[in-house]
Structures are given as structure tokens and as C-alpha cells.
Structure 1
């Protein structure tokens, strides 16, 4: 499953990358450079999660290097690769977050139960992230204290690429904040900015500002979560 997800992601990333115009990058060149970067940094995929994290980091890094070698400036190569990288994650962010919002009457309560934010982060990213969860009466906060992407790009001398991964997270945060569900998400800082943690705070909105979940709207008046 991990290899299939990586292939699908790389295909979408490469398509978005080449929509930016010349120079075009081939799948063979991108794959070969990503493998070279992984070998140079002694990256070993222990499971599907680490395989995906390595693919994302080395794929972005490889695309940027190849664009620079084809004649783009360092900044232009970074910007073009960054735009393509974000596009490659838009559909996943859109559908996964909308589905969660669609079926969950109380997103914050759901997140707090069993420390689901930390649990889901570990399921998605494995050992790539060190996380814990802090809960309060009206919030659940995921604290990321170590991040494979921050470490990778720092070690590679390309910390200028790390904010692109931070922007990837901002995409799903924006989807949640634009919804009419009883939750908002904020992040006061990131590891890439020198903070001690990336803090993703899921906070419950006042009841009056949100609509009922999809199921309750189907049930009709008088059956909502008052």
C-alpha cells in the first residue's frame, strides 16, 4: 500500500510540476535523483509511513535540484517546486478533512477522546514525528516536538524548503476553518521557525455559529444537537 501511495503522489506532483512550463522534469530523472538523495542521507524505509515521508522530502528536494540544474534560479526553482508540492496534496487534504467534518458531530470532543490527534499523527507519519496531545475543556492540541522534514532539510542544507511542508499543513487547516462545523484550528508557531513545537490547536466554536452535521440535517427539525 505504501508504494502505491508514493507512486500516486509522485505522479500528481510531477504533473503539477510540469504544468509550470519549461524546463520539464521526467519521471525517470525525478525518481533517480530522489533515490540518490535518500542513499546519500542513508534513509531506510522501515514501513509505509517512513516510505511516504522519505518520498515527500526527497521528491521535493530532487525536483528543486533538477530545476536549478536546468537553469532556474534557486528561488524560482523552490517556488515552482513548492507550488506543485502543495497542489499534489490539495485533493487529499480536501477530501479527508471534509469527510471528517461531515461525519463528526463534535470534532473537538472526538479529537479529545483517546487522544485521537496524537494517535492519528502516529498512524499517518510513524516515527517521522514525535508528538503528544494536550487537552482542555474546549480544545485539543497536537504538539509536534520533532519532525523528520525539519531534520531532513536542515541536514541537507535546504531549510528554505521546510516552510513548504508547513504550508502543506496550512491547506487542511484552512479547509476546517472555512467550514460551518463547530471547530477552528490555529497554529502559533512551527519548529521551522525555531519554536519548541508545532502546536495544532483544535478549539470548539460557540454553538450558535455552526450548523448540524449532515446526518442530523437529514433527520429534520427537533433532532439536532441542541
Structure 2
């Protein structure tokens, strides 16, 4: 069954330059993720800091315009949370913690973070990750190639996964590396400084001196990301 799903669920992502295993259509994914976003808005504390909110809206708008996904429909919310983190869920919903500003010192660095999250959308990483998980469990079956409604039912049947997409499913190291590179391209296109992405991870490394070894994490280590970003920025001729 899984082998059959693989054959019928592959398509080429031009941004990534590779084929992807996608069993979930965008409409179903966004509908499923909307519940998680609404729950987050209800339960989490939202920051009203006027300066930080203006910054994320301004920088976010420029990155969105550079993405080619359209400037409308994006939602950027600042959460009162000390963890230096940001996330994106399907439907152009981006969450940024106030704690992120412990490692983000200027708008170029903020653009690097928002560019990275936007890159996950361009890369359809949430859909790919969900599809891999579902196929491993044999959940979708006949829903492959079916209507959005049928796909939605299949998503919902997967232990509530649909209601938590983007918040609980971690991206793979491959996804994170792709988002780093695409994010740098978006930063450059939006008129920000690409090398700021390196600075973000240098700041993160300084903050997380006791971070777990790379083998114990789904994300590349800060050192690995810094080296990969340095190589990519140099290869592209960015500053």
C-alpha cells in the first residue's frame, strides 16, 4: 500500500528543485491547521508591544512580497513567550515569540527568521512531513488523488494530527537546511542583508551553550547551520 501511495503522491517542487511525496492538498492542510492556530490564539498570551509588533508586520510584509506567494493573507502574531522561537503553520500563519529578540538584534536578522519560516511554506514542508507520517501509518489509502473533503477526513482520522499540523510535527534536518537556503534568497530579494542569517545562528549558539548533540536533535546543530549558510551565501555572491 505504501509503495503504491509513493508512486501516486509525487510531484516536483520548482523552488526546491526536487520531487516531493505529497498526499495532502493545500486546501485540506490549511483547513486542518486552522484549528491549531485558533487554539494557539486562545490559549497563548499575545504580546501587545507596539514596537515589536510593528517590526514583525513590516518585515513580514516585505518577505511575503518577495516570496511570490502573494502579500495578502499572511498573519504575523507576537506571542509573550521567553523561548527564542518562531514557527509557521499552513495558511500563512506565522508565530513569533518575544524571546526570539534575545537572538534577533536588528531587522536584517528578523528578516532571516521570517524568511526561514516563509521558506517552509514555499517548500511545502508541512505537507511533505504529514504525508510521510500518514503513509508510514497507512492512513490515506484511497484518499490519494481524491477530493479535498475525502482528504480532510483522512487527515482528521490520523489521531488528531490535522488539528496540530505545524505545531507538533518537527521538520526534518533536510527541511531545515532547505529552509535556511531558500530563506536567505528571500532575505536578499526583500532587500535585507543575507549574512544576517549567520548572525542569528551565532547568537543562538552563544545562548544555547548547553544544547544537545546534533545526533539527538531533528535540527542541524548551530555550527553546522552556520557553516552551511556561510558556504551558500559565498556561492551566491551575497553579502
Tell me if both proteins adopt one fold, taking TM over 0.5 as the criterion.
Answer: no
Higher relative contact order (CA 8 A, sep 6+): 2
Q: Which has the larger radius of gyration?
A: 1
- Between structures 1 and 2, the one with greater helix share: 1
TM-score, scaled to structure 2: 0.30
